[in-house]
Amino acid sequence: MRATHATTRSALHHLAARTDEGVTTVTVSSTTVPPSPPTSPLSMDGHEQVVHCFDRTTGLRAIIAIHDTSLGPALGGTRFFPYSSDDEALADVLRLSRSMSYKNALAGIPHGGGKAVIIGNPATDKTPELLRAYGRFVESLGGRYVTACDVGTYVQDMDVVAETTRFATGRSPENGGAGDSSVLTAYGVFQGMRAAAQHVWGEPTLRGRRVGIAGVGKVGRVLAGHLVEDGAQVVVTDVNSAAVSALLATHPSVETVGDVAALVRGDLDVYAPCALGGALDDDTVEVLKARIVCGGANNQLVIEGDGGTADRLVAKGITYAPDFLVNAGGVIQVSDELRGFDFERAKRGASAIFEHTLEVLRVADERGESPAAAADHIAEQRMAAGSPTIWLPQP
Ligand SMILES: NC(=O)c1ccc[n+]([C@@H]2O[C@H](COP(=O)([O-])OP(=O)(O)OC[C@H]3O[C@@H](n4cnc5c(N)ncnc54)[C@H](O)[C@@H]3O)[C@@H](O)[C@H]2O)c1
């Protein structure tokens, strides 16, 4: 869940009714959005459908969660992870699939939110047979859920999953897919950062600004390249020295610091978390000097909801470009792949993150709330304006 991410389907319909009545502005505040129903076998935390999968031949155990299909078939990756219990796996898949509804709605793609988890150790349990068995479960949903890569699953895995389902995206170019999505993810983050710069400094450029990137893996490395090209002063850190060396080989002007703690204490104009989740804890917000936070990492806010990290950032005068808004380039890419991948078309989609971010920051200012809360409300309004009935496979 993000700032709220708590709206139930009935609340979305309430919003829809208001839209029908001609209300064009977002009118629901976080305090009036009803909380999610408690997680129980039937309420499923507000999800439309949750499918528990077991394949007796391969031992596959998976959960597919479809949160909301008011904007189209659910789209979201498959996480392959050694959860310590089924309850932990269920809680994770429900949280992740709900987040996808918001991300997809904000990205303006014709998809609802869903996600899947495969319970197991990807290093030891992943076999082609198990992935094919998983693909059959995805196929059984007739397109209501479209899968892609996530933690523990890769482009090559989606190639195998696609052997048994038509509803796998994020495949390799050799198999008709778009390949690695981090290029457009990084491009989208850069667009979000340009928009935040426009909002804060009046110019859509990072020229002359000092930008700190934590994590220069697939996304951070490409982002660094965009920033150098734009004329920014880039400083990075990564626990993997090989990742830093690879970046310096192509961009020798990039500076390095020892760790994230040193990075966030530095004189930054922009902080770009591009490693793991939980980047914005209380200690980080406390010492951060940057005026903008905008990065590719998922789930950056440690304390979500009213009074949480997003509000603390506002109180410190830091403009936060919500992670699920600016890192949507990857999902825009896999969504495009479903139509027959066209890189330029997908790049245009990711370019729109610039306008989307400007809109969110403007609405946040107008409503006097955090950008995370504003992004939630815009996503909820879009879902409310979608279909009131579940998406069904097309004949
Ligand atoms: N790849 C995508 O298309 C995509 C899309 C959306 C969101 N994201 C998110 O963006 C983030 C980065 O993704 P990625 O694909 O670049 O992953 P990656 O694994 O390629 O890169 C992450 C980098 O962070 C570094 N790192 C890890 N812990 C660190 C720490 N404590 N301090 C400094 N560096 C650390 C790693 O060494 C690695 O180089 C993740 O949170 C991911 O969920 C990625």
For residue 316, indicate whether it is catalytic.
no
d(CA 217, CA 174): 24
Q: Is the pLDDT of residue 13 over 80?
A: no
- Selecting among 115, 289, 316, 347, the annotated active-site residue is 115
244 is in an annotated binding site: no
If one residue of 80, 115, 219, 257 were mutated to test the ligand 1 pocket, choosing by the most ligand atoms within 8 A of its CB, it would be 219
**Region of poorest pLDDT, from 119-128, 303-312, 364-373:** 303-312
**pLDDT-derived band of residue 22, with 50, 70 and 90 as boundaries?**
very low
Q: Mean of the pLDDT values across residues 31-45?
A: 51
Instruction: Annotate 45-93 with three-state secondary structure.
Output: HHCCEEEEEECCCCCCEEEEEEEECCCCCEEEEEEEECCCCHHHHHHHH
**pLDDT-derived band of residue 364, with 50, 70 and 90 as boundaries?**
very high
Q: Is the pLDDT of residue 331 over 80?
A: yes
Q: Tell how far the Cα of 332 is from the centroid of ligand 1, in angstroms.
A: 18
Whose tokens are 């961009």? That residue is 251
d(CA 149, CA 180): 9
- Cβ 3 vs Cβ 370: under 8 Å: yes
Nearest Cα to Cα of residue 264 among 190, 220, 212: 212
The b-or-e profile of 288-303 (16+ CB within 10 A means b, else e) is bebbbbbbbbbbbbbe
- Cβ 216 vs Cβ 274: under 8 Å: yes
d(CA 205, CA 288): 21
d(CA 352, CA 356): 6
What pLDDT does 277 receive? Answer: 84
Q: Mean of the pLDDT values across residues 108-126?
A: 97
pLDDT 10s digits, 189-226: 999 999 999 999 999 999 999 999 999 999 999 999 99
Helices 353-367 & 343-351, crossing angle to 10 degrees? Answer: 20
Q: Containing H/E element for 232?
A: none
Cβ-based neighbours of 193, under 8 Å, separated by 6 or more: 206, 211, 227, 270, 272, 292, 294, 321, 326
- Give residues (CB < 6 A) around ligand 1: 181-182, 185, 214-220, 237-240, 243, 260, 274-277, 296-298, 327, 330
What pLDDT does 35 receive? Answer: 41
For residue 219, give the ligand 1 atom closest to its CA. 16
Q: What is the mean pLDDT of the chain?
A: 90
**pLDDT-derived band of residue 122, with 50, 70 and 90 as boundaries?**
very high
Cβ-based neighbours of 4, under 8 Å, separated by 6 or more: 30, 33, 305, 306, 373, 376, 377
For residue 328, give the ligand 1 atom closest to its CA. 6
Note the helical H segments in the chain: 9-20, 86-107, 122-125, 128-140, 155-161, 182-201, 218-230, 241-250, 260-265, 282-287, 309-315, 323-326, 329-337, 343-351, 353-367, 371-384
216 is in an annotated binding site: yes
Whose tokens are 């917000």? That residue is 285
Domains and CATH numbers, the chain: 47-175 (3.40.50.10860), 182-381 (3.40.50.720)
Helices 218-230 & 182-201, crossing angle to 10 degrees? Answer: 50
Q: What does the chain come to in residues?
A: 395
For residue 151, give the ligand 1 atom closest to its CA. 43
d(CA 151, CA 148): 10
